[in-house]
A and B are shown apart, each in its own frame.
Chain A
Amino acid sequence: MTAAGLREPPAAKALLILAALAYVALMLLLPLGAVMYEALRKGWGLWHAAVTEPDALASIKLTLIVAAITVPLNTVFGIAAAWAIAKFDFPGKAALIALIELPFSVSPVVSGLVFVLLFGAQGWLGPWLDAHDIHIIFALPGLVLATVFVTFPFVARQLIPLMSAQGRADEEAALTLGASGWQTFWRVTLPNIRFGLLYGVLLCNARAMGEFGAVSVVSGHIRGQTNTMPLQVEALYNDYDFVAAFAVASLLALLALVTLALKSALEWRYRHELSAVH
Chain B
Amino acid sequence: MASAPASRSTPLPGFGLSLGVTVLWLSLIVLIPLSAVFVRSGSEGWHNFWAAAGSSRALAAYRLSFGAAALAALINCIFGLLVAWVLVRYRFAGRRLLSALIDLPFALPTAVAGIALTALYADTGIIGRILEPAGFPVAYKPAGVVRTVEPVLAEASSEVEEAALTLGATRLQTFSRVILPTIVPALATGFALAFARGAGEYGSVIFIAGNVPFKSEIAPLLIITQLEEYSYAGAAAIACVMLLISFAVLLLLNLLQHWQQRRVG
A binds B: yes
Total interface residues on A, using CB and 8 Å? 106
Q: Which residues of B contact A89 (CB under 8 A)?
A: 6-8
In the complex, the chain A residue whose C-beta lies closest to that of B121 is A34
Question: In the complex, what's the smallest C-beta–C-beta distance from A181 to chain B, in angstroms?
Answer: 4
Is the CB–CB distance between B30 and A149 below 8 Å? yes
**Separation of A263 and B102 alpha carbons in the complex (Å):** 12
A28 at the interface (CB under 8 A from B): yes
Question: In the complex, what's the smallest C-beta–C-beta distance from A51 to chain B, in angstroms?
Answer: 14
Is the CB–CB distance between B101 and A1 below 8 Å? no
Is the CB–CB distance between A35 and B109 below 8 Å? no
Stretch of B47-55, B182-190, B235-243 with 4 or more beta carbons under 8 angstroms from chain A: B235-243
Hey, what's the 0/1 contact readout for B37-53 against A, CB within 8 Å counting as 1?
10010000000000000
Summed over the interface, the residue pairs from A and B with CB atoms below 8 Å come to a total of 308
List residues 217-265 of chain B with CB under 8 A from any CB of chain A.
219-221, 223-224, 227, 230, 232, 235-236, 239, 242-243, 246-247, 249-250, 254
Question: In the complex, what's the smallest C-beta–C-beta distance from B74 to chain A, in angstroms?
Answer: 14
B116 at the interface (CB under 8 A from A): yes
Q: Which residues of A contact B232 (CB under 8 A)?
A: 116-117, 120, 122-123
B180 at the interface (CB under 8 A from A): no
Q: Which residues of A contact B10 (CB under 8 A)?
A: 87-88, 168, 172
Is the CB–CB distance between B30 and A103 below 8 Å? yes
Total interface residues on B, using CB and 8 Å? 101
Question: In the complex, what's the smallest C-beta–C-beta distance from B96 to chain A, in angstroms?
Answer: 8
A110 at the interface (CB under 8 A from B): yes
Question: In the complex, what's the smallest C-beta–C-beta distance from B93 to chain A, in angstroms?
Answer: 10
Q: A84-B15, A164-B3, A234-B207 known; A106 and B200 CB under 8 Å?
A: yes
In the complex, the chain B residue whose C-beta lies closest to that of A213 is B202
Is the CB–CB distance between A212 and B236 below 8 Å? no
Chain A facing B: main interface SS? helix
Hey, what's the 0/1 contact readout for A46-87 against B, CB within 8 Å counting as 1?
000000000000000000000000000000110011011101
Residues of B within 8 A of A (CB): 1-4, 6-8, 10-15, 17-19, 21-23, 25-26, 29-34, 36-37, 40, 79, 82-83, 85-87, 89-90, 92, 94, 96, 98, 100-113, 115-120, 123, 139-140, 142, 147, 151, 158, 161-162, 165-166, 171, 196-197, 199-203, 206-207, 219-221, 223-224, 227, 230, 232, 235-236, 239, 242-243, 246-247, 249-250, 254
